[in-house]
């Protein structure tokens, strides 16, 4: 592994930097957890797609640029350094997209991936159920085969951005006599299908970030199933691996907040009421963000050599979720009472929305499989500790 970039990689970095400087929205977009903000982000995703920066690693015929993993890391670093809008179609582009690449038919890839890259179809994840939570093997929603269709009944909950999305993907029990991870099928469902009801769930910030999805005998064609009938668990585990691994949370997402945290501390370090222990927390956040970045480059090197990371993705998930939380908790301590002001409020400290980030970070140790689940995976599969 070389710890320096090639001339081609440096040229790509400059190309991305220049394009973002010329094309990034001049005005801050509204939250994508609002109807207006969601559509603003959809429009921005189309701009990225037209310039082939939407999904840089995807093949060109599917709407991508054909970049490798190192170039993807470079793109992410420039994207976050430019303070460009957060990506809204993550569930589709970063979770379902790679799953379709691996398990989808050629027809499914051609049908869904280009529209996904252009955000013409926005996706929500239909994993959790009221009595299942992180234990996906406990789901009860059914998909009963009826000729060339599945009839879906049941409920999903905590579906991120399902309030505004066009489609959802999830696991459904296609064998009603099965239990646990057997007899499950992985199916894509349009959210405007007859029998689908969406009920928004408000997040800590009061916005409709999540939703419950109710399925009342919803009919979808069998061709919407990914993988073989009853083998959905295997496909879902691949999606979970993408969610916990590098793709969903690139190191750049945390390097930039860590950099802003250092700047925030420098601006406040002369305050007499600043807790001296904050300095150590700032240093720890900075070091962890840089360590995660170096670890990511090491992992990418292994992947490009044909290795698999498997259960190690659980380590990534624990690291980035707890790092995100610590960065924002430390910022809140520095700002004191003013931390409770939104970025656009009178007398707010800066245009960086530390409060919004802090509220979102609370969910990090829960979504993508709770950190307790991840630590069990690390203990059992990587350390071979007894149950």
Query: Which are the catalytic amino acids?
Result: 243
Count of residues for the chain? 387
Q: Give the pair of three-digit tokens for residue 94.
A: 């970063």
- DSSP category for residue 185: E
Give helix then strand counts, H and E, for the chain.
12, 8
d(CA 264, CA 286): 12
Which residues, 6+ apart, have CB-to-CB distance to 337 below 8 Å? none
d(CA 12, CA 74): 8
Q: Give the pair of three-digit tokens for residue 370.
A: 């709770």
DSSP string spanning 21-54?
HHHS-SSPPPPTTSHHHHHHHHHHHHHHHHTT-S
d(CA 192, CA 219): 11
Read off φ and ψ for residue 7, nearest 5 degrees.
Answer: -60, -40
d(CA 310, CA 23): 37
Counting beta carbons within 10 angstroms of the beta carbon of residue 174, is it exposed (0 to 12), middle (13 to 18) or buried (19 or more)? buried
d(CA 50, CA 52): 5
- The answer to whether residues 168 and 191 touch, using CB atoms and an 8 Å cutoff, is yes
Q: In the chain, which residue ranges form alpha helices assigned H by DSSP?
A: 7-23, 35-50, 69-81, 90, 97-103, 106-117, 232-244, 252-268, 277-304, 313-335, 354-361, 371-377
d(CA 69, CA 74): 9
Q: Give the pair of three-digit tokens for residue 24.
A: 């990034």
170: which strand partners? 126, 187
């Amino acid at each position: 592994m070389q710890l320096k970039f090639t001339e081609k990689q440096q040229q790509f970095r400059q190309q991305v930097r220049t394009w973002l400087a010329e094309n990034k929205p001049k005005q801050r977009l509204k939250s994508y957890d609002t109807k207006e903000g969601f559509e603003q982000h959809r429009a921005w995703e189309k701009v990225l797609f037209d310039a082939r920066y939407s999904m840089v690693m995807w093949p060109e015929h599917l709407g991508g640029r054909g970049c490798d993993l190192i170039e993807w890391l470079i793109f992410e670093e420039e994207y976050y350094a430019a303070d460009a809008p957060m990506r809204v179609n993550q569930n589709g582009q970063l979770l379902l997209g790679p799953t379709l690449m691996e398990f989808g038919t050629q027809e499914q890839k051609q049908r869904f991936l280009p529209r996904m890259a252009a955000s013409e179809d926005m996706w929500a994840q239909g994993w959790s159920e009221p009595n299942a939570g992180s234990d996906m093997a406990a789901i009860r929603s059914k998909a009963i085969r009826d000729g060339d269709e599945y009839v879906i009944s049941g409920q999903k909950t905590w579906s991120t951005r399902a309030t505004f999305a066009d489609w959802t993907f999830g696991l459904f029990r296609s064998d009603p006599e099965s239990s646990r991870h057997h007899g499950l099928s992985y199916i894509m469902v349009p959210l405007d299908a007859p029998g689908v009801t969406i009920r928004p769930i408000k997040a800590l910030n009061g916005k409709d970030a999540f939703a419950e999805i109710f399925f009342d005998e919803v009919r979808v064609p069998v061709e919407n199933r990914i993988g073989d009938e009853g083998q959905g668990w295997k496909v879902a585990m691949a999606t979970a691996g993408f969610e916990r691994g590098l793709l969903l949370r690139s190191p750049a997402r945390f390097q930039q907040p860590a950099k802003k945290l250092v700047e925030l501390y420098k601006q406040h370090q002369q305050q007499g009421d600043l807790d001296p222990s904050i300095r150590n927390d700032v240093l720890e956040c900075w070091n962890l963000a840089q360590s995660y970045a170096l670890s990511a480059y090491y992992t990418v090197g292994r992947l490009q050599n044909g290795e698999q990371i498997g259960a190690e993705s659980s380590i990534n998930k624990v690291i980035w979720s707890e790092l995100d939380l610590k960065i924002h908790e430390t910022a809140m301590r520095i700002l004191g009472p003013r931390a409770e002001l939104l970025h656009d409020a009178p007398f707010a400290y800066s245009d960086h929305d530390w409060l919004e980030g802090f509220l979102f970070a609370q969910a990090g140790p829960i979504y993508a499989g709770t950190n307790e689940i991840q630590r069990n995976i690390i203990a059992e599969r990587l350390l071979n500790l007894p149950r």
